[in-house]
C-alpha cells in the first residue's frame, strides 16, 4: 500500500505541474494543445544540463526554460499571427517530439542520480503515513504549492480577475483597456514553464533517463485533466492524483486479483474525462470554463 501511494505521488506530480500551467493558459482563453511537445523539450533540456553539470536544480531551470521557449513559439504563431490555436498547438506537439528526439539521440543510455528526497531516510519518523507525507522530493511539494498559488492568484487577486475576464470576453476586456495579448502571452509562457518542469521531473526523477517520446502521452492527459477538473486549480490536484492512481492500476490490477484487462483500466481516465466534459457542458455548470477558449483575438479596433 505504501509503495502504491508513493508511486502514485511520483506519477501525479508531472501531471499536476503540466495541468496547472495549461489551466492558467486556458483560463486566459488560449487552448495550447502543445503540452506534449513542451514537456518533451523540457525533459531533454533538463536531462542534458543535469548530465553535464551534475546539478538537478540547474536541470529543472533548463527544463522550465525550454518549456518557455517552446511556448514562445506557440505564442508568436497563435497570438501574434492569430492562427488557429488548435492547429498551432498540434504543430508544437509534433515539432517538440521531433526536436527532442533529435537533440536527445546522444543522451540515450546515459544515467543520472535522481533527485533526493528533502528529508533523508534516517530523519523520517516511524509512522508510515508521516513517512509518505514527509519523505518526498522538493518538486512534489512545489507542484502542490503551485496549484494552490494559482488558485489564490485566479480567485483572490486583481490580476487573476483580469486574466479570467480576458478568457471570458477578450473584446470587452480590450475595450476597458486590459492588455489582452500581453496577458495571454504571459499565461502561455507560464504554461510552458510548468510543462517544461513537468518534463524535467520525468527525465530527472521519474525514470531518471532520457528516451525518445518518454512522456508517453502525459501531455495529452494533462489537457484532459484541466477539463476533468472543470478548470479549477484545486480540483486539478485531486484529478492528477486520481489519474495517476488509475494509470497505476494497470500494474497493480493483477496484484489485486482484478480480471479486467489492463487496457480497459487504462481507458478509464479518458472515458472519465469525456463523461466529465459532457456533465460539465450539459449542466450549464461552465462557471469556470473560459467562454473564449480557443478563439483568436486581434485588436482590430
User: Which positions touch other proteins (CB under 8 A)?
Assistant: 31, 33, 37, 73, 76-78, 80-84, 86-88, 90-105, 212-213, 217, 220, 223-224, 227, 261, 263-264, 266-267, 270-271, 273-274, 277-279, 281-282, 293-294, 298, 300
Give the span between the Cα atoms of 231 and 203, in whole angstroms. Answer: 27
Residue 283 in grid coordinates? 449542466
Between 107 and 153, name the residue whose CB sits nearer to other proteins: 107
Residue 25: CB minimum distance to other proteins, A? 15
Between 135 and 290, name the residue whose CB sits nearer to other proteins: 290
Residue 241: CB minimum distance to other proteins, A? 19
Residue 95: CB minimum distance to other proteins, A? 3
Residue 142: CB minimum distance to other proteins, A? 28
Nearest to 146 by CA among 209, 240, 70, 228: 240
What are the helix (H) ranges across 169-261? 170-175, 180-201, 218-228, 233-252
Q: Tell me which DSSP letter residue 296 carries.
A: -
Residue 272: CB minimum distance to other proteins, A? 9
Phi and psi of 117, rounded to 5°? -60, 155
Q: How far is CA 143 from the centre of its chain?
A: 10
Residue 267: CB minimum distance to other proteins, A? 5
Residue 268: CB minimum distance to other proteins, A? 10
Give the DSSP letter string of 258-291.
--S-HHHHHHHHHHHHHHHHHHHHHTT--SSS-T
Between 86 and 130, name the residue whose CB sits nearer to other proteins: 86
Between 2 and 212, name the residue whose CB sits nearer to other proteins: 212
Between 195 and 205, name the residue whose CB sits nearer to other proteins: 195
Identify the three-state secondary structure at position 117: strand
Between 55 and 84, name the residue whose CB sits nearer to other proteins: 84
Between 20 and 273, name the residue whose CB sits nearer to other proteins: 273
Give the DSSP letter string of 28-84.
TT---TTHHHHHHHHHHHHHHHHHHH--HHHHHHHHHHHHHHHHHHHIIIIIIS---
- CB contact set of 161 (below 8 Å; sequence gap of 6+): none
Amino acid at each position: 500500500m505504501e509503495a502504491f501511494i508513493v508511486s502514485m505521488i511520483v506519477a501525479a506530480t508531472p501531471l499536476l505541474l503540466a495541468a496547472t500551467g495549461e489551466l492558467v493558459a486556458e483560463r486566459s482563453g488560449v487552448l495550447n494543445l502543445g503540452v506534449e511537445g513542451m514537456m518533451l523539450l523540457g525533459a531533454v533540456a533538463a536531462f542534458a544540463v543535469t548530465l553535464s553539470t551534475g546539478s538537478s536544480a540547474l536541470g529543472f531551470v533548463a527544463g522550465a526554460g525550454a518549456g518557455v521557449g517552446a511556448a514562445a513559439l506557440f505564442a508568436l504563431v497563435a497570438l501574434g499571427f492569430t492562427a488557429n490555436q488548435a492547429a498551432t498547438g498540434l504543430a508544437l506537439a509534433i515539432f517538440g517530439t521531433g526536436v527532442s528526439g533529435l537533440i536527445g539521440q546522444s543522451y540515450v543510455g546515459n544515467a543520472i542520480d535522481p533527485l533526493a528526497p528533502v528529508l533523508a531516510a534516517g530523519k523520517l519518523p516511524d509512522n508510515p503515513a508521516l513517512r509518505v507525507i514527509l519523505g518526498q522530493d522538493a518538486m512534489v511539494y512545489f507542484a502542490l504549492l503551485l496549484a494552490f498559488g494559482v488558485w489564490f492568484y485566479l480567485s483572490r487577486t486583481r490580476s487573476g480577475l483580469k486574466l479570467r475576464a480576458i478568457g471570458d470576453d477578450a473584446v470587452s476586456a480590450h475595450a476597458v483597456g486590459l492588455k489582452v495579448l500581453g496577458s495571454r502571452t504571459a499565461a502561455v509562457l507560464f504554461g510552458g514553464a510548468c510543462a517544461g518542469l513537468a518534463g524535467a521531473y520525468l527525465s530527472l526523477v521519474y525514470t531518471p533517463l532520457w528516451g525518445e517520446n518518454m512522456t508517453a502521452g502525459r501531455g495529452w492527459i494533462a489537457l484532459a485533466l484541466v477539463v476533468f477538473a472543470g478548470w479549477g486549480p484545486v480540483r486539478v490536484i485531486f484529478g492528477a492524483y486520481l489519474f495517476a492512481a488509475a494509470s497505476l492500476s494497470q500494474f497493480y490490477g493483477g496484484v489485486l486479483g482484478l480480471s479486467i484487462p489492463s487496457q480497459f483500466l487504462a481507458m478509464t481516465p479518458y472515458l472519465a474525462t469525456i463523461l466529465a466534459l459532457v456533465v460539465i457542458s450539459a449542466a450549464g455548470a461552465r462557471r469556470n470554463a473560459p467562454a473564449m477558449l480557443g478563439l483568436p483575438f486581434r485588436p482590430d479596433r
